[in-house]
Structure 1
């Protein structure tokens, strides 16, 4: 998968972000195990709690289209490197393959690659409920 292409897709999604309160725009692109790509942006709400992050928007779009697992996610924010929040990390855990890579990119097309275990050590997931 071409990382630069995915970063550009995340940038494009970021431009669609609805952020009238924070003006902190985030875009994400998700690649599923079927190699389909879904993008998403963050969407704010005046009540704050109904807001949703770009990562979750992209993942939920994929799942709503019948996908079951993601294998890669790219995140770009307004500033330097933007990492997924705790809620997004938990959602990634729910729908990620064990080998899922999480890429955070800055505005200079530089990026860092992480595993989910690096960003969410000692996590709780579906496998913990099947014991």
Structure 2
């Protein structure tokens, strides 16, 4: 038997105001996208915004469906659109903001497992890390330097 220790680190900012100007702008785009979410069932609205190396910004919001598995999260909405429209572009930064119509969301909300897997695919494809900033509707903002910090044992093409 051998023991493997996995270590990760996440930076925490007290508020959006502490972020670099480029990331504040991206997070504001994620907040705007969040307002366009279609979330009549969960009442949980998520917005994402992706900055590409060609300086294009791709927003996305969660889109629910009465058949729950048929919906799509904000992160995947944005990342799949970026991949479809700009297949050769490198994803540099992703910003995510979430809120609930039922209660205040003041802690950072990370991507769900399915979104982590989708982001992992693009990080492996481009062979460059994707910075991920995530927050609630207000309060602290968390920053991951790479998806590997959020999903250290990612399944990717090397496993096939």
Give structure 1 stretches of 5+ with no counterpart: none
TM-score (norm 1): 0.90
TM-score (norm 2): 0.74
Aligned length, in residue pairs:
129
Residue 82 of structure 2, aligned match among 34, 51, 62: 62
Structure with larger Rg: 2
Alpha-carbon distance in 2 for matches of 1:110, 1:35: 26
Alpha-carbon distance in 1 for matches of 2:136, 2:149: 19
Residues 98-121 of structure 1 show CA distances to partners (whole Å, capped at 9, x for unaligned) of: 321111023236411112111001
Alignment partner of 2:83: what SS?
helix
Alpha-carbon distance in 2 for matches of 1:53, 1:92: 12
Give structure 2 stretches of 5+ with no counterpart: 1-20, 100-104
Match status 1:111 vs 2:141? yes
Alignment partner of 2:65: what SS?
coil
Runs of 4+ deviating beyond 3 Å: none
- Summarize the Cα distance change of 1:113–1:119 in structure 2 as closer, same or farther, 3 Å threshold: same
- With a CA cutoff of 8 Å and minimum separation of 6, indicate the structure with the bigger relative contact order: 2
CA contact (8 A) 1:89 1:120 kept: yes
Residue in 1 that maps onto 2:98: 77
Deviation, 1:70, is 1.5
Alpha-carbon distance in 1 for matches of 2:143, 2:121: 19
